[in-house]
Chain A
Amino acid sequence: DAGVTQSPTHLIKTRGQQVTLRCSPKSGHDTVSWYQQALGQGPQFIFQYYEEEERQRGNFPDRFSGHQFPNYSSELNVNALLLGDSALYLCASSPGTGGVTGELFFGEGSRLTVL
């Protein structure tokens, strides 16, 4: 049973560029959440997708957008990259109750470096 898979694992971009990160949830999970983890910090909630809709959003600008596909996989897009967007981006999946039960299953993350 595959867990949460994310791609790419590492990428380097320059300021002003755009990036797309991808996530496949754990089998049987229909909810995907995205988190940003800066170096030495805890993960920060970006948003959650359920039934192809953004169900909740954290305190991130509109440059951060996402999408969920009918097969429950998800993408995170970041436009107009800033140096401060350099971080590990984590995808987490869960059953439809989302974060209420707290049992999120995380991928290993996509490490984004913005130069």
Chain B
Amino acid sequence: GDSVTQMEGPVTLSEEAFLTINCTYTATGYPSLFWYVQYPGEGLQLLLKATKADDKGSNKGFEATYRKETTSFHLEKGSVQVSDSAVYFCALSGASYKIIFGKGTRLHILP
């Protein structure tokens, strides 16, 4: 069945460092891909999405490109801030109504 695999955390970086969180997926057909973020004490919220191959989703300085050939959707940010500390979930939506989430990657940014 459909699945999402993302890099294990926690990931600890210094402020202004470059961030990459890897995500690969397995799906039949052409899923939509997402990154959700869970800030401390808050609910999950959509960070960005891409609905077809080669699309790039972007928001708040984060970017991810839908790579069908490598079945990947890696999350990147050029310069992280302390406020980016959160848990990040890669997810996909296939032919059904459910969203399939990865296990999450906890990100700590040090000032």
Please list the residues of chain A having a beta carbon within 8 angstroms of any beta carbon in chain B: 3-4, 33, 35, 40-45, 48, 55-56, 58, 90, 92, 98-109
Contacts and interface: CB of A to CB of B under 8 A. Distances in A.
B98 A48 contact: yes
A109 B104 CA distance: 17
A94 B53 CA distance: 24
B93 A100 contact: yes
Contacts, number: 68
A106 B43 contact: yes
B47 to A, nearest CB: 11
Given A4-B43, A103-B49, A56 B32 contact: no
21 contacts: A4-B43, A33-B97, A35-B101, A41-B103, A43-B99, A43-B101, A48-B98, A55-B97, A56-B96, A90-B43, A90-B44, A99-B96, A99-B97, A100-B93, A100-B97, A101-B32, A102-B46, A102-B99, A105-B43, A108-B42, A108-B43
Nearest to A107: B43
Interface string B71-111: 00000000000000000010101001111111110000000
A99 B98 contact: yes
Contacts of B102: 42
Interface residues of B, number: 22
B91 A56 contact: no
Interface in B42-74: 42-46, 49
A3 B46 CA distance: 14
Interface of B: 4, 32, 34, 41-46, 49, 89, 91, 93, 96-104
Given A42-B103, A45-B100, A104-B99, 17 more contacts: A4-B43, A42-B4, A42-B89, A43-B44, A43-B101, A44-B101, A90-B44, A99-B93, A99-B97, A99-B98, A102-B32, A102-B34, A102-B46, A104-B46, A105-B43, A106-B44, A108-B41
